[in-house]
């Protein structure tokens, strides 16, 4: 079998029509500079802003491709300035393109600077301080960065100040009309927050809202007592939250799964909401859609029958760059939580065409923001999030970590997103539909009251076609065995006939 979904962790209703996409063009992935993470971070931000994307390597760009008829905007990502990679056709087309244009990283050309009504200044071997609204964060060491002198008519988001006081202050994010510039991008921390502000402003998609506290890394094998204790403590502190959890499609009749479902019901009763995390991909190909469909439907339905009602799907960013994973995984949900990519990414049918959903949450590590300070005080509570943002905290693996996590979260003073007041959600699972609005769960349009025990939901028949990759595998295997035994039987009959003739000839009279 060519693919497999490790289940730890229909009808599409929420993926928007592609329309005019935003073209992301990158020069190289450059792992030494975390280029792949930067690319994924940009894809995550743009999807959270609400635009569809197409990602392409600079060397693959062809003349005449970038037109306003096909694309609403273009993002240039420079990961490897030392490589001096060029594509004359792209440079020419980008210059004449009249849509929205964003440059991220070094090598800002003179023509691009003129479009921003600004002049460039190169700074070398400086550690930079990123600040905005009296909050600041020290950025990693940067060998070379191209800054812009402040320009008139520009909207600026944050400032960069080299530690060398004589160099002065420069804008971090800049938007002038249809053009934007980010001299530096880190897919975490204050950099990602201000980059999201810049991108949301450029594309006219500002949606400022409080962040959603999200516990990640929960599985059916987690310490469920610790999970319910965490949920109860957060509820007692008046902190709404979400849990991103994997599930299983098999062995759901075992007592262990009943305990897992009961723990998740307790989370729901403590004002927590559930994101079902996409299954881990072991291997996949273009025929994997049916197996993913079956896995997702069975996980959702087994949870739903036990009054665990997920409000969205969580998955790594790269899932949104895969045709199979979008269609059979993400597109069934109106709420999608995009998390950072794992070390290894396995695709089924990578097409680099990022989809957009009714509401896409940008998963951002809370820990990466703890060095954002106002003087000596952690200033997470003062940050402005321009897109739906889930501040993620890993599930504590010990009582000591549990205590530290609760202390950290309760002392931040953040005004958290209230799902009970603002969230609307819908997930399709074969012929069943899960819903959530104003704190009430729905199954096929009927309200469901979540109790401590799995009662109150009728034995609903979740119809589903069962033609999956495994069925085809055994069917092909059976045909092969049938042919093999048929041929073997024919050969044995021939040998028996020939042997009989030879035996008879041995005893004939000469």
61 and 42 in a common domain = yes
Q: Render 118-172 in DSSP notation, one character per residue.
A: --EEEEEEEEEEEEETTEEEEEEEEEEEEEE---TT-EEEEEEEESSGGG--EEE
368 and 295 in a common domain = yes
CATH assignment at residue 259: 3.20.20.370
Structure tokens, 96:
């004449």
- Is residue 4 domain-resident? no
Residues 6+ apart with CB under 8 A from 473: 1
Structure tokens, 68:
């306003």
Alpha helices in 335-449 (DSSP H): 399-411, 419-422
243 and 160 in a common domain = no
Which pLDDT does position 4 carry in this prediction? 59
- Final residue in a domain of this structure, among 202, 236, 267: 202
d(CA 147, CA 124): 11
d(CA 243, CA 308): 12
- Is residue 447 domain-resident? no
d(CA 306, CA 314): 20
- Final residue in a domain of this structure, among 423, 454, 483: 423
- Is residue 207 domain-resident? no
d(CA 264, CA 329): 21
Residues 6+ apart with CB under 8 A from 214: 241, 242, 243, 244, 275, 337, 361, 363, 390, 391, 392, 393
310 and 197 in a common domain = no
266 and 193 in a common domain = no
- Is residue 489 domain-resident? yes
191 and 246 in a common domain = no
- Final residue in a domain of this structure, among 370, 396, 423: 423
Among candidates 381, 403, 376, 378, which has minimal Cα distance to 391? 381
Per-residue pLDDT of the chain (510 residues; tens, 9 = 90+): 234 555 443 333 334 344 799 999 999 999 988 999 999 999 999 999 999 999 999 999 999 999 999 999 999 999 999 888 999 999 999 999 999 999 999 999 999 999 999 999 998 888 899 999 999 999 887 778 999 987 778 999 999 998 877 788 999 999 999 999 999 999 999 999 999 999 999 999 888 899 999 999 999 999 999 999 999 999 999 999 999 999 999 999 999 999 999 999 999 999 999 999 999 888 888 888 999 999 999 999 999 999 999 999 999 999 999 999 999 999 999 999 999 999 999 999 999 999 999 999 999 999 999 999 998 889 999 999 999 999 999 999 999 999 999 999 999 999 999 999 999 999 999 889 999 999 999 999 999 999 888 765 555 444 444 434 444 444 445 566 677 778 888 888 887 877 777 766 766 654
d(CA 321, CA 225): 37
- Across the strands, what pairs with 423? none
- Is residue 129 domain-resident? yes
Contact in structure between 482 and 490 (CB atoms under 8 Å): no
Q: Find the Cα–Cα–Cα–Cα dihedral 429, 347, 80, 370, rounded to 10°.
A: 40
| β strands within 43-84, DSSP E | 53-57, 71-77
253 and 115 in a common domain = no
Strands 100-104 and 353-354: unpaired
CATH assignment at residue 115: 3.40.50.880
- Is residue 460 domain-resident? no
- Phi then psi for residue 128, to 5 deg, are -110, 150
d(CA 392, CA 400): 19
240 and 374 in a common domain = yes
Which pLDDT does position 477 carry in this prediction? 54
Query: How many domains are contained in the chain?
Result: 3
d(CA 476, CA 270): 50
- Is residue 443 domain-resident? no
Structure tokens, 385:
């999030």
222 and 145 in a common domain = no
Q: Render 245-279 in DSSP notation, one character per residue.
A: E---SS-TTSHHHHHHHHHHHHHHHTTEEEEEEPP
d(CA 77, CA 58): 9
Distance of CA 214 to the CA centre of its chain: 14
Q: What's the pTM value of the predicted model, to 2 decimals?
A: 0.86
Torsion-angle region of residue 438: left (phi > 0), alpha (psi -120 to 50) or beta? left
Among candidates 288, 276, 290, which has minimal Cα distance to 349? 288
379 and 239 in a common domain = yes
- The answer to whether the Cα torsion of 297, 302, 306, 311 is positive or negative is negative
Length of the chain: 510
- Is residue 431 domain-resident? no
Q: 433: helix, coil or strand?
A: strand
230 and 107 in a common domain = no
Q: Find the Cα–Cα–Cα–Cα dihedral 159, 163, 166, 170, rounded to 10°.
A: -10
d(CA 123, CA 352): 34
Instruction: Give 183-244 as a 3 state SS string.
Output: CCCCCCHHHHHHHHHHHHHHCCCCCCCCCEEEEEEECCCCCHHHHHHHHHHHHHCCCCEEEE
- Residues of the domain holding 489: 468-510
- CA 139-142-144 angle, 5° bins: 140
483 and 398 in a common domain = no
């Amino acid at each position: 079998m060519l693919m497999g979904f490790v289940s730890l962790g229909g009808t599409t209703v929420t993926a928007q029509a592609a329309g005019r996409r935003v073209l992301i063009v990158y020069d190289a992935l450059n792992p030494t500079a975390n280029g792949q993470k930067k690319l994924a971070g940009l894809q995550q931000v743009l999807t959270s802003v609400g635009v569809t994307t197409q990602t392409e390597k600079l060397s693959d760009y062809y003349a005449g491709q970038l037109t306003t008829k096909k694309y609403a905007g273009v993002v240039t990502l420079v990961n490897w300035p030392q490589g001096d990679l060029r594509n004359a056709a792209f440079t020419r087309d980008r210059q004449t393109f009249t849509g929205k244009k964003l440059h991220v990283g070094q090598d800002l050309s003179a023509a691009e600077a003129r479009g921003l009504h600004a002049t460039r200044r190169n700074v070398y071997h400086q550690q930079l301080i990123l600040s905005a609204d009296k909050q600041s964060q020290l950025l990693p060491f940067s060998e070379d960065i191209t800054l812009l002198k402040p320009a008139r008519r520009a909207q600026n988001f944050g400032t960069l100040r080299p530690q060398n006081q004589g160099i002065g202050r420069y804008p971090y994010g800049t938007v002038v009309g249809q053009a934007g510039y980010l001299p530096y991008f880190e897919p975490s921390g204050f950099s990602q927050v201000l980059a999201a502000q810049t991108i949301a402003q450029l594309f006219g998609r500002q949606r400022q809202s409080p962040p959603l506290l999200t516990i990640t890394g929960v599985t059916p094998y987690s310490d469920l007592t610790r999970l319910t204790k965490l949920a109860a403590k957060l509820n007692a502190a008046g902190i709404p939250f979400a849990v991103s959890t994997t599930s299983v499609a098999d062995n759901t009749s075992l007592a262990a799964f009943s305990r897992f479902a009961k723990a998740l019901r307790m989370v729901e009763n403590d004002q927590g909401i559930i994101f079902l995390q996409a299954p881990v991909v072991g291997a996949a190909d273009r025929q994997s859609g049916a197996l993913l469909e079956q896995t997702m439907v069975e996980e959702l339905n087994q949870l739903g029958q036990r009054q665990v009602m997920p409000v969205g799907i969580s998955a790594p960013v790269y899932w949104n760059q895969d045709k199979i994973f979008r269609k059979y995984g993400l597109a069934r949900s109106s709420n999608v939580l995009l998390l950072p990519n794992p070390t290894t990414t396995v695709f089924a049918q990578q097409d680099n065409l990022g989809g957009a959903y009714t509401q896409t949450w940008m998963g951002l590590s809370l820990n990466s923001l703890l060095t954002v300070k106002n003087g000596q005080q952690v200033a997470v509570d003062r940050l402005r999030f321009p897109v739906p943002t889930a501040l993620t905290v890993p599930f504590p693996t010990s009582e000591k970590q549990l205590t530290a996590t609760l202390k950290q979260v309760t002392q931040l003073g953040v005004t958290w997103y209230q799902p009970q007041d603002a969230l609307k959600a819908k997930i399709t699972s074969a012929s069943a539909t899960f819903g959530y609005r104003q704190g009430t769960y729905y199954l096929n349009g009927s309200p469901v009251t979540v109790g401590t025990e799995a009662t109150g939901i009728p034995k609903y028949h979740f119809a589903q076609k069962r033609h999956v990759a495994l069925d085809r595998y055994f069917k092909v295997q059976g045909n092969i065995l049938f042919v093999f035994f048929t041929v073997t039987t024919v050969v044995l009959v021939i040998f028996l006939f020939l042997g009989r003739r030879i035996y008879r000839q041995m005893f004939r009279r000469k």
